Structure formats: structure tokens, C-alpha cells
Amino acid sequence: MIDFLNKESSVVEYVKTHLPEFLPAGLSPPDDYVNDFIDFDKYKKNVVVWFNFVNYLYETLTNESNEETGNLKIYISVRNDSKENLRTKLLQYASALYNMFEASGTSFGGLTDDGEIENIQFYQYVEGQHSLKIVEFEITLTTEI
């Protein structure tokens, strides 16, 4: 039986619990973790981790099992600081997320069978706002169900 709500909530909770362990000294944990559309007008905190579960694809492996491939995008946005500090913080948060994912066995601690970071993209300017920077992680997660 598939439970998308539990699957997504578990990934969000894993990141929320473990990401702070990988932050360098002096860098505060993110202010919010949002599993919703990116909305900079609604969510105005300084550091936000956004989750976008893009889609799930299925392939039959046997008569009794399927492979689920989930495509996930995780964004981290930083704002309300100097241009130099924003860039430094963005790179530090991105490094922490990358290192946390790798340390999890690329499976968010066993929530999936395997995962891979496909792409990391940095956006220096968002919506013409020079006081907002964002990084996007594209992650593929596979699980036999």
C-alpha cells in the first residue's frame, strides 16, 4: 500500500532532524522547512528549506514487486543579509545538505533504497531581488515496493 503523505513527511522530518548536525559552527539551523510551493511573499524567514516532490515513476520488476523512482527537488533560500554573507551562507547550507545526504547512505537513513543527487544549481538572483539567493538540489530516489 502506498502512503505518499507518510513518505514525504518522513523525508522532510529526516532533513529537519539531521541537517543541523552538518552545519558549520556559528551557522544557525534553517528557520523553516516547507513542503509546499515556493512563495517568497508568504514565507519570509531568513533561511528556508523547501521540498518539491515532483513525481513518482513505476516499473514492474516481477509479478510481486515494482520499482518506484521519485524525483525530489530541495531548495534552500537565504535572505536578509549582505550580498557577501548571503553567498557564503548559501554555500555553507548547500554543503551541509550534500554532506547530510551522503552520510545517510544516499537513502535519507533508509527511507528509500537508494538515491542520487543529479544536479545542484545556484541562483544568485531570484525574482530580481538582490537580497535573496537560492540553491536547488535535484535528487532521484529509488525504492523497491
Q: Kindly list the domain boundaries of the chain, sorted by start residue.
A: 4-144
pLDDT at 56: 78
Q: What global pTM score does this model have?
A: 0.88
Crossing angle of helices 83-103/4-18, nearest 10°?
120
SS3 123: strand
Instruction: Give the strand order in the sheet containing 47-60.
Output: 32-34, 47-60, 66-79, 132-144, 114-123
The span from the CA of 70 to the CA of 144, in Å, is: 11
Strands 47-60 and 114-123 turn out to be: unpaired
Superfamily of domain 4-144: Phage minor tail protein U (3.30.70.1700)
Give me the tens of pLDDT residue by residue for the chain, a chain 145 residues long: 677 787 888 889 999 999 999 999 989 999 999 998 888 878 889 999 999 988 877 777 777 777 778 899 999 999 888 877 888 999 999 999 999 999 998 888 888 888 889 999 988 777 666 788 899 999 988 777 8
- Strands 47-60 and 32-34 turn out to be parallel
Cα–Cα distance, 114 to 5 (Å, whole number): 19
